Amino acid sequence: MTTDNNSPKKVIPIAAVAPEEELVSLYAPHQKIYPRSVSGVFSHWRWVMVWVTQLVFYGLPWLEWGQRQAVLFDLSVRRFYIFGLVLYPQDFIYLTGLMIIAALSLFLFTAVAGRLWCGYACPQTVYTEIFLWIEKKIEGDRAARMRRDEGAMTSEKLARKTGKQFLWIAFSFWTGFTFVGYFVPMREMAGAFLGGQLAAWEFFWVFFYGFATYGNAGFMREQVCKHMCPYARFQSAMFDKDTLIVTYDTERGEPRGARSKKADPSKMNLGSCVDCSLCVQVCPTGIDIRNGLQYECIGCGACADVCDTVMDKVGYPRGLVKYSTENAMNNHWSKEQTIKRVLRPRVLVYSTILLGIVLAIFVSLATRTPFKADVVRDRGVMARVIEAGKIENVYSIQVMNATESNQRYKISVEGLPGIEITSEPTLSLEPTKARWVPVRVQVPPEADKPGSHEIHFIIESLDSPGRLREESKFVIPR
């Protein structure tokens, strides 16, 4: 091959080419979810839980027990009243026990039935259900709400939206007010509110809790479960192949496809799923259960309820979407076989520990001394030598009456030869009251060598059984 050197050279212009830029957002745009209302067994149970939990929550602060509120965590005087129980900060161990019980119960219920708590009793679920109910009553069900949101603003739309917001805000305010009623006597607070004399901090907490309810149940909804709740993230660690989860029966349902009611699916090579998408429409987190277990699934069973209604309509057996376990699905177990697997070692261990802690707390509460005492050596007053060479130390003792009646207490001391209390050794306390008393303790000069010596104060109730022994130090100067 030859080249002609005299032929003009071809010039290829080089131009700077701007690199193709694509803006990649790290955040998925939020798609508003319009859950369709549903009725069925699981929806019924969710409403039962809504009623039970909310009757307890809104009712308890109004319940009286003798002369006081039945359940009150009175932070101002550091006293916690739970029906007949009067607890002091020193009883913190019971709160710890309660938290351990709550955590273990969560582990246990999750191991047995997955996200039972999320689907039926979590405040986020319960309040979202109530807010959705209000929304449905005012704006209609899913299709009507979607249509209205897409349409232009009209006076009717404005009126409905305003009415819904008004009810949401009123309900949220009432929720915040009730919450604060667990920490401040409810009836007094209601009086103060009506008289326009609510304290600033009470007002703040009513507003704060109310605002949280309004924001979480009215707007955040499934976002809380998907992105804020830590439980969704670690729940999988508590699941095993025998945990009940809401499952789509792929074997039975696929291949999915629409068909007429009279059509024979086997002839069309179709499974039981008619691909109506209702299970997606009712899902409060907007997922498709047919894609398998997803962390967004709160186990509410709404998809199972709606699918059962579809199965009824097309004349197929119920249970295409149902509560089942991975093992049961894989091995085609019957209901009885599945239930039998509930009592597996993991569940038995959780149950035994839980039962042990509950029993320990009950025994401890039943046998606890009905008063508390704190001994503090008065560091402002030095150990001193008084008349006849006696040595005196001064203490402050706080006695807390945890009963609902007047009580008398006697204080004595032991631990050194000739040790005695020279101040008033008895005191009286009104129901649930606490008081600090100064206590002077003296020993004879020959009692012991100089230094710090261990002594014990004995505080006895004169009106009910109970005796406490509190350790302290007695200092003999050189």
Binding site for ligand SF4 (CB under 6 A): 246, 248, 253, 256, 273-279, 282-285, 287, 289-290, 297-303, 306-307, 310, 320-321
Amino acid 352 reads T
Q: At its nearest, how many Å lie between ligand SF4 and the CB of residue 331?
A: 22
For the range 228-237, what are the long-range contacts, defined as Cβ-Cβ under 8 Å and sequence gap of 24 or more?
229/118, 229/124, 231/106, 231/115, 231/117, 231/118, 232/118, 232/295, 232/296, 232/298, 233/295, 235/110, 235/114, 235/115, 235/295, 236/295
**Planar angle of CA 273, 277, 279, nearest 5 degrees:** 85
User: Considering beta carbons, is residue 283 or 429 the nearer one to ligand SF4?
Assistant: 283
In the chain, helix, strand, coil percent, each to 5?
A: 45, 20, 35
User: Considering beta carbons, is residue 128 or 213 the nearer one to ligand SF4?
Assistant: 128
Q: At its nearest, how many Å lie between ligand SF4 and the CB of residue 302?
A: 4
Q: Taking the C-alpha atoms of 34, 39, 40 and 42 in order, what is their torsion angle to the nearest 10 degrees? A: 50
Q: At its nearest, how many Å lie between ligand SF4 and the CB of residue 88?
A: 43
CA neighbor of 114 nearest in space, from 106, 122, 124: 106
Q: At its nearest, how many Å lie between ligand SF4 and the CB of residue 223?
A: 14
DSSP-derived letter for residue 318 is: S
- Rounded CA-CA distance 304/300 in Å is 9
User: Considering beta carbons, is residue 49 or 468 the nearer one to ligand SF4?
Assistant: 49
Which residues is 222 bridged to in the sheet?
A: none
DSSP for 251-289, written as a single string: HHHPSP----TTS-TTTTT--S-----HHHHS-TT---G
- Rounded CA-CA distance 163/159 in Å is 6
The helix/strand/coil state of 409 is strand
Q: At its nearest, how many Å lie between ligand SF4 and the CB of residue 350?
A: 23
User: Considering beta carbons, is residue 139 or 222 the nearer one to ligand SF4?
Assistant: 222
Q: Six-digit token pair at 5?
A: 């050197």
Ramachandran assignment for 49, one of left (phi > 0), alpha (psi -120 to 50 degrees), beta (any other): alpha
- Rounded CA-CA distance 113/111 in Å is 6
User: Considering beta carbons, is residue 59 or 317 the nearer one to ligand SF4?
Assistant: 317
Say if residue 283 is exposed, middle or buried (CB neighbours under 10 Å; 0-12, 13-18, 19+): buried
Q: At its nearest, how many Å lie between ligand SF4 and the CB of residue 275?
A: 5
Q: At its nearest, how many Å lie between ligand SF4 and the CB of residue 228?
A: 16
User: Considering beta carbons, is residue 198 or 297 the nearer one to ligand SF4?
Assistant: 297
User: Considering beta carbons, is residue 226 or 456 the nearer one to ligand SF4?
Assistant: 226
Q: At its nearest, how many Å lie between ligand SF4 and the CB of residue 328?
A: 17
- Rounded CA-CA distance 283/287 in Å is 6
User: Considering beta carbons, is residue 293 or 383 the nearer one to ligand SF4?
Assistant: 293
- 9: CB partners within 8 A, 6+ apart: none
Q: At its nearest, how many Å lie between ligand SF4 and the CB of residue 289?
A: 4
User: Considering beta carbons, is residue 244 or 439 the nearer one to ligand SF4?
Assistant: 244
CB atoms within 10 A of CB 384: 12
Q: At its nearest, how many Å lie between ligand SF4 and the CB of residue 324?
A: 12
User: Considering beta carbons, is residue 275 or 392 the nearer one to ligand SF4?
Assistant: 275
